[in-house]
Every structure is written in structure tokens, then in C-alpha cells.
Structure 1
Amino acid sequence: MPIYNAGAYIERCAPSLVNQSLGADAYEVLYVDDGSTDDSAERLQRLAAAHAHVRVHRQENSGWPGKPRNEGIDRARGKYVQFVDQDDELSYEALERLYALAERNHSDIVLGKIHGTMQGPSNVFKRTVDRCTAADAPLFESLTPHKMFRREFLREHGIRFPEGRVRLEDQLFMARTYVRAKTVSILGSYPCYQWNRREDGGNNSSRRITADDYYGHLDKVVEAIKEGTPPGDLQDRLLRRSFRVELLRPVSEPRVLRRTGKDLEEYYTTVRRMAMTSYPPGVRDGLPAISRLRAELLVQDRLDSLVELARRTEKIKARVEVDDMRWRNGKLVIRTRVGMVRADGEPLTVVERGGRTLLDPELLDGIGGAEDWEVPDPFSYAYGELIVHDTANNQWWYPEGELAPTLEPLGGGRHRVVVAGETVVDPLTLAGGAPMTPGTHQVWVSAQLLGVGRRPRLTPAPGRSRILLGTVAVGAPPRLVLPAWGGPGGQLRLDVSGASRIGTTRRLLLRTAADHRFRHGVRGVLRRLPRGASRNIRAAARQADRWMLR
């Protein structure tokens, strides 16, 4: 852990480090104090005096995390190293589980599921993966260094963090490791790393970022990928992420609509030059339709067209349709369909014309350089999935089932691209193989179509009625699960009550009766309770029924 003027964050984070389930005799905690000027040194010394497996090294200030991390690699004595930032925490079993996964698979890198206020849902951690590489897994979607590395792997390849004030130092380090790692493992079943947003905003540097500075360092990331891969399909795929996410960002909404004058021109000129000189043509060719169009307009030097395209694309929304929802053997089965609609409420389409498939002419009408934009593959980068957010613990879980892309004919050669399918939410296994915890769990949708990504709440489509289901009891001892619509937009929520939470149980049963809008709703739930349900739960159902009669 690199430390610089961490102050009270040292004590806040320390318990999660020194009390790992792995056992104090199996690991060490190595703090590298990068010349702190506050009382961090004294705090660290007290911590080391109280815990035999804590070591502290102090050095002159280097101004950035790279050098203290490198110093930590050099001084570490373990087989693996795990990087942690000074304001973050590890879950209790993180090291034990990561180590077991690494040893079982002889892994060079192990990615532990990240959660916290600095991390939203990431389908990199959708499932636990024993063995993968950058060639067959979306590893480049996770570029923070908060991972476990085999120390000899880093030494063997001479992989170091850049030292000094280097932007994107984490991306550069991870690019060098991913392209060389023979075995990478992903622990998706247990939230390992809590990435916290500091109350004082201390996660971010206060130094102004210039276009030349930022993209000069991005160019080094690009070169690192090129050095570690031969030219061809794999290299293009790995480079596509930085092109799509970092390079096109200044010419996409919302940034291109907010920057003006010299500031916009500076970023535009910089990314245009880099698009033409740093990336092989195959990178642009493999992008989804709208992203590929942005790249073409950038190369054609059409800033005005990029601005107008961003203005129209920003207004595209996802339309979610819940076709069916029902309980099946104690599991909630949801059939959904997701498409995109333009600002006028009409579907975002592709059109067959003259043997070619073209991107929605209504969207592109009047945008110079975008006329008759061809879509070789309407399903490029198309995907969809449901995500469940455990709001009490701020953790995201992925149910079984993905939404598959398909074309739906609209007449006149027009088609809308949608993702559709069945998702199965198992309350007993959703949380990484464990039951859902008591509390409220919100259901979201994540979809990417034609280069437009959206993450809307799962709500009924406009004009469609809500599907109402009763509460079910699952597991032993039984816990009650109630699908209900509420909150912003009437989002689908799963309210979960443990058997001992009688007050919550009563509220859930009451809500079931209210949702069904008939007097015997609660009694219907009562009949579905298993024989082993506790007398308290049955009593709560009868109590709720009496309240409804009143």
C-alpha cells in the first residue's frame, strides 16, 4: 500500500488488512510511505508495533504511486503481491480466496470482484473464471491495479509501474501484464476489493490535465499493447477498447457538447492525429456502427458533423419491454426485450437498401459525411443482460441468462435491432452462489446496440401494465422474496426478508395483498409457505390478513 498524507484513512483501512482470514502467519502488510508530511509516519509505526506481520518502509516523496508500488514489489517476500490504495479496503476473506484460486490454476494474475462507491457494475466479474487470457476474456475492461499478481511473473518480464507524474500509469502497468500473462483467473463470486470515493475528493489529482499530456500517455499504453502482441486480429481487439473509450471520448457526448473554442479544438486536434497515426486501420473497422461512424468523421476532419451526431445520439434512450415474469420452482423468470429509440420516440433502425444495410437514415439526415452509412454487422458489440443491485451492501450481481441480439422487421426494409431473452433470478444462489441478503434489490438492464450503450432501470414499457406476482418463500429456514414495482419510474425491486425479520415479513405480506388488490392475496401466500416455515412467519401472514380485512 503506497501512503502519502493518508492521515485517519490509515486506521480506517488497517483492520481490513491486518485481520484477513488467511491468517497473520501467511501474509505480510507492507506500507510504503512516500514522504508524508502529516502524521502518517507515526500512525504507521504504531500499527507496525501492534502487528508483527506489518512492515513499514519510508522514502523521499516521489509525487506519484508508481515508485512506492515498485518499492513494495522489491521488498515483498510473498509468492504473490496484492496492491491496495490507502483509502480502500479488502473484504475479510479476500486474500484467502484469491490465493486459493491462484494456487489452483498457477495464475499470473487474479482479478477479485471490485465493489464500493468508485465502482459500478462490471461484467468482467459476472462469473468466476478459473483460467483465461486477454485473448478470450474482456480483461481490458478492468484496468485498475487492485489485483493479485505472482511476484515472479512481474520480475521475469521486468514489469514495473512508471515512476514520476505519469498519467494512466495503471493502464500502462495492466497493459504490460495482460499481454504477457499465460493464465489469468477471475473471482466473481465474492466482492474482494472495496474501492472507496474519499469524502474530500482525494482520489483525484488536482493538477490540470491537458490533451497532449493525457493522450501522450495513452499513446504509451497503445505501444505497450503493440509490443506484446503481433499485428492482427488480437492486437486490433485489444486496442479497440482504448480507441472506443478514451480516444473517441472528446468527440462524443457529453464532452464534445460541453467543450467550446480553443479547449475543444485542442482535444479534437490531438485525438484526430492519434487516430490516424497510432492505431492500425483494423481497429476502426471492427467498431460498432455509431462508433465506427465517429471514427470516420474524425479522420475526415468533420468536427461539426461529430457535434451534431453527438447531439442526436445523446437523446437516444433504451426501451425495455417485460414480456413475461413468473415464479418457476422458486426462481423468478423474466422475459425482456430491449431496443433503442430516437428522440422522436421512433425505434433506432437499420434499413436494407440496394443490397446493403444502412444505419438509420432519420438519425443521420443532414449530417455531412454520414450519408448512407453502411452497417456490415448490426450485431457487432450487441449484448444485453439484467443486473441486480443489492442496495444495502452496494454490490452488483448477474443472474443466469443473457439477452441475444436479433432483428425485428418493421416493414419497408426497416428493422430494429433488439436484444431479447429469458433471465432467471435464483434467490438462493444469486449472490455468487449464496442467497440474496435481506433488504431491497433493484433490477437494472444493461444493453449495447449499434454502438449506443445504456443502463436503464427495469420498468414497464410505456402503456404496458405491470405484471404483479406474489411473495414466495424459498430455502430453509425460509426467506420471503417479493417482486414489487416502485421508486423512480416504477422500477422492479426484489424485497427479501430473512425468517427472523418479522416486522419486514409483515410489510412484505401486506404489500403482496395490496399489489394483488384482492382480499385473499395474503392467504394465497400463506398456502405457498412450506411445511417447515416457522410459526412466527405463519403468524405474521395471519396478522397481515386480519389487517387487510380491517
Structure 2
Amino acid sequence: MSVPKVSVVVPAYNCGRHMDKLVSSLRRQSLPADEFEAVFVDDGSTDGTGARLDALATAHPNFRVLHIPNSGWPSRPRNVGVEHARGEYVFFADDDDWFGDEALERLYACAKANDADVVIGKMTGHGRAVPRELFRKNRFQATLANAPLIDSLTCHKLFRRSFLNEHELRFSEGPLLRLEDHRMVVRAYLLSRRTSVLSDYTCYHHRKRADAGNVTARPLDPAEYFAALREALDVVDAHVEPGPLRDRLHRRWLRNEMISRLRGQRLLDAPQDWAGQVVEEVRQVIRDRFAPGVAAGLPPLQRVVAHLAEHGRVADLRRLARWESGIDVTATVERQEMTGGTLTVDIAAHLQSEGRPVALSPDGDRELLVLPVDGVDPALRDLTATPGPSRVDVVARRRQTNEEIFLPVTLSSERVPDPTEPGGRVYVVHRATATIDTAALNSGRTQGTWFLKARVTSSGWTADARLPLFLHFSADGADPVVRAKDAFWSRVRGAVVRRVGRDGVPARLARSLGR
């Protein structure tokens, strides 16, 4: 029997109809069915999932099913799947996600062309956050030093099977189950001879189930979670010497797993006693594990949150969160022009909170971010010490699939006096000119409706505003119809989402507002 090019390993537990999209996407793969296999590992399902998988395996020779006693976590099924996989490469998928139609063919071709141990295919989120900066461009010789690989720590990637076996790369099955993919993936990055990033095709659609039915959606225990986080830091420390690279890698966990839980609506929605436990865990990790350069490399808002957490200032964290929960982007289209097949769009955008610009205050030759908390060292709010420039991106997002494309832009910014505040305060208006070759958009795979968004990254925020402009392509390669959406209804939709929360918008209302 020939060796498959790819084995797709899928842990399955009581997934029912939620695996329909995955199964359909596997059946649509451009890679011939006799060149890949899908290995489903039924983790003791009790809802008939096991029998359904058996029926699929009977109907499709490249589908296989393994049944194991319930383990309660995806680690064991994934490990069992690897042990039984026959493919040259292994891709770990979840039972409620799905693939782009050409994903396996393109991922395998990228792996072979670059002799890669690991290939990361572009992801799109459906109710889930996925990396953005990592997928700005293809990166065929990516490392933790030259690319933001650390932003992508889920296991939904292509791995050379012999590489997994050589280094005994498996998922934790012990008492610390949380962040098991972080520990496995970061170790893989550190050991990989070559890692490639395929960004010009959306390979994987990562979904958050509306019923929160997958096993990893259960509430986390702060002590357990942060013990697991410390183990992820241990992996980095075992391979990377103290210094700027280690600080940058540690910063990923400080930013994404710690600070993000203590900001905005996420903190306000958390039970106060639970939030207090998280603050205490974060305080201990910052003090015990992080060098000064870790927090120092954050933008101003995040530096302040880290400082407040380190000093246990829970009340101030909640005060800041109430203000931050009102942050959004206001953006306007100042000009649009279609010449031949090229659309040029000029936009202006800035951050605001509750209708007022996010202000900066002059302080000698510095500009300080104005925040509603006292007793914070001005150096923490200093924008002149911020790593990386503030910017605005123009992003095209396909309504039917949620795929996103960064558009080519030229950028500028200006300081504008804040009319709502005295004392010389200013705010930053970001400007961008986006040029869209409509025939080349998404490599010509354009069918559907594409909305344009302004994405502002500044001072510790990244926030989007949908522009009142969209392109409709009746087919791939067709000339687009360019239309301006009614700005009034865009504002109504934004106000509703801000008031009740994106996930609190009833489906019917969301559809009526063009969600």
C-alpha cells in the first residue's frame, strides 16, 4: 500500500452535526483521495458520533476511525492518531473546523518545495481570533527570530511525521492539559530545521461553536492554567538564552494569555473573585519569570495593564477596563476612484472612546497616552518609547467565508488638536491610500462580496471599522460592482454591537444590520 502524502488527524467527541463542514471539506479536497487519509479518533462519544464515523469510513476508503475510552481532552486522541497515521505529513484538525478546497494539496506542495518540517497555512476565524500579522506574506524560511511564528501556537498545522517521531513531539496527557498545544508547537518551532508559512491561500477555517460544546470550552481554573503557562515558558527557557529573543517570546504569553484577560469587556464580564485570582497569578508570573525587557517591549496601554496587575491594583484595572470597553475606530472614505480595473481609496481613521478621540498629552519632548487611572509612572504611557509604528491597514474581507486580504497602502499620520480637551492635547489621525487591482485580488479567487475595513493599530489597541464600501464579483475574474453602503446603517450596526456585545446580537437583528 502506498504511503499517503498527508494524514489528517481529528479528535472527535460528541460532535454530531458540527463535523459536517469538516467532512464535506475533506471530500472536496483537490488532493486526490488516494493521496491522503483522514484518521478520526472517537474519544468515547455517547451521542452516536462513533457510529456515524464508522459509516463514513465504510463509504470512503481514505477515512479511518479509531475508538478509545473517553479521555476528556484532545491530547490523547491526537497522540493515538499520530501513532496510527501513515502519511508523510500529519495535519491536526478539530472536528468542528474545515479546510479550504485546495488546502492539503497546497500545504504538501509547500512542504516539499521547501523541505519543511512544519508548514503553517493561512487561517480564517469564525468567532475565534486567528493570527493576522503572520499571514501578511509567504515566509518559506521562517524562524522565531525573523517572523511572528509565536503568534500561532494552536496545533492546526502540517508536520512532517518523521520529525514528530524523531523528537517525540506529542501532546501532554498528564495533569496539566491546558495549553498543551502551546507546549508542543513552540518546541516544534525550536527544533524544526525549516518552517514555512503559506499565506496566499486560506487553508483552514477555525470555528467557535455557538453552543460552546467542545471540551476545551470549559471555564479555566486560574491556578491550573498558569501552571501550564509556566511549563510553556520552561520550553522556551530550555532552548533560548536570556536576551531580546527570549523576552520577545515571553512577551507573547504576557500579551495574549495574561494582559488580554484583564482588559475591556472581558474583564468586566468576569466574576470578581475569579478576576482577582487571575490578577494574583499574573502578578506572580511577571515577578518570578519575566525579565524587565518583557513588559518594556509592550505598547503603552499594555505596559500600564501589566504594571497594574503586577501591583495587584484590581480596582484600577476595572476602572481602565470600563473606559477601554468603549474603544472603537471611526473611519471615513475621503475619496474613491475606479480607473480601469484599479480601485483607489483614500481613508482617514482614528481611535475614540465613547465618541471622544483617544488623546495624547504633551510632556516636554514626549507624548503620553491619556488614561483614566492615577499613580502610573509617565514612562509607561510614553508613546515615544513604543516599539513599532502606529498604522492603519485597509483590509478586504469576503462576507461568505470571512477570508481577509491586506491591501497595498501608502500611509501617513497627523496630530490634530483635540477640541474636547484643553491643555494642548492632540489625537492621531491615520491616513491610508489603498490601491486594489481587482483582477489580482486574492490571486483572482474573487467570487462573492468583499467588504473593506480600516484596521488601526496604535498604543496597544488593534480595532477595526467597516468602511461603507464593498465590491461584488459575480464570478472569479469578473469585473466587480463597486457600491457604497448606507453609512447610517453602518453606524446603527456599530452602535448596537458596542452596546450589547458582538456575541449578544440576535441572529435575525445581526443579519438585518448586515453582520
- TM bracket (short chain): 0.7 to 0.9
Match of 1:394 in 2: 402
Is the contact made by 1:2 and 1:32 (CA closer than 8 Å) also made in structure 2?
Answer: yes
Distance 1:446 1:136, change over 3 A: same
Stretch of structure 1 that moved more, 109-118 or 237-246: 109-118
Distance 2:208 2:322 in 1: 31
Distance 1:403 1:260 in 2: 42
Match of 1:128 in 2: 138
| Aligned-residue offset at 1:12 | 5.2
Distance 1:238 1:91, change over 3 A: same
Distance 2:390 2:476 in 1: 40
Residues 6-51 of structure 1, C-alpha deviations (whole Å, 9 max, x = no match): 3344565334324522112222222222233343333333322333
Distance 1:344 1:3, change over 3 A: closer
Alignment coverage as a number of residue pairs: 475
- Residue from 50, 55, 69 that aligns with 2:64: 55
Distance 1:350 1:153, change over 3 A: farther
| Aligned-residue offset at 1:275 | 1.5
Alignment of 1:258-407 (within 5 A): 258-259=269-270, 261-343=272-354, 345-353=356-364, 355=365, 357-361=366-370, 363-364=371-372, 367-370=374-377, 373-378=381-386, 380=388, 382-401=390-409, 403=411, 406=413
- Identity within the alignment, %: 32
Partner amino acid, structure 1, of 2:262: V
SS in 1 for 2:362: strand
Distance 1:303 1:394, change over 3 A: closer
TM-score for the superposition, normalised by structure 2 = 0.83
Is the contact made by 2:416 and 2:428 (CA closer than 8 Å) also made in structure 1?
Answer: no
Q: Which runs of 4+ in 1 moved over 6 A?
A: 471-477
* 1:428 and 2:439 are equivalent in the alignment: yes
Partner amino acid, structure 2, of 1:383: R
Is the contact made by 2:444 and 2:477 (CA closer than 8 Å) also made in structure 1?
Answer: no
| Aligned-residue offset at 1:291 | 0.9
Distance 1:78 1:21 in 2: 17
Is the contact made by 2:264 and 2:324 (CA closer than 8 Å) also made in structure 1?
Answer: yes
Partner amino acid, structure 2, of 1:456: A
* 1:486 and 2:495 are equivalent in the alignment: no
| Aligned-residue offset at 1:293 | 1.7
Is the contact made by 2:341 and 2:437 (CA closer than 8 Å) also made in structure 1?
Answer: yes
Distance 1:135 1:261 in 2: 38
Match of 1:143 in 2: 153
Stretch of structure 1 that moved more, 287-296 or 149-158: 149-158
Distance 1:206 1:158 in 2: 27
Residues 193-229 of structure 1, C-alpha deviations (whole Å, 9 max, x = no match): 2333435432354644221122222222222222232
User: What 5-or-longer segments of structure 2 have no aligned partner?
Assistant: 1-9, 492-515
Match of 1:156 in 2: 166
Is the contact made by 2:236 and 2:246 (CA closer than 8 Å) also made in structure 1?
Answer: yes
Distance 1:409 1:472 in 2: 35
Residues 504-541 of structure 1, C-alpha deviations (whole Å, 9 max, x = no match): xxxxxxxxxxxxxxxxxxxxxxxxxxxxxxxxxxxxxx
Could you say which structure has the larger radius of gyration?
A: 1
Distance 1:333 1:350, change over 3 A: farther
Is the contact made by 1:180 and 1:228 (CA closer than 8 Å) also made in structure 2?
Answer: no
TM-score for the superposition, normalised by structure 1 = 0.78
| Aligned-residue offset at 1:490 | 4.2
Partner amino acid, structure 1, of 2:295: R
- Residue from 225, 230, 246 that aligns with 2:257: 246
Match of 1:534 in 2: none
Query: RMSD of the alignment, in Å?
Result: 3.1
Partner amino acid, structure 2, of 1:408: R
Partner amino acid, structure 1, of 2:256: V
Residues 284-313 of structure 1, C-alpha deviations (whole Å, 9 max, x = no match): 111101111222222233333323222333
Distance 2:266 2:21 in 1: 36
* 1:86 and 2:95 are equivalent in the alignment: yes
Is the contact made by 2:111 and 2:119 (CA closer than 8 Å) also made in structure 1?
Answer: yes
Match of 2:199 in 1: 188
Distance 1:212 1:478, change over 3 A: closer
* 1:172 and 2:180 are equivalent in the alignment: no
Alignment of 1:465-476 (within 5 A): none
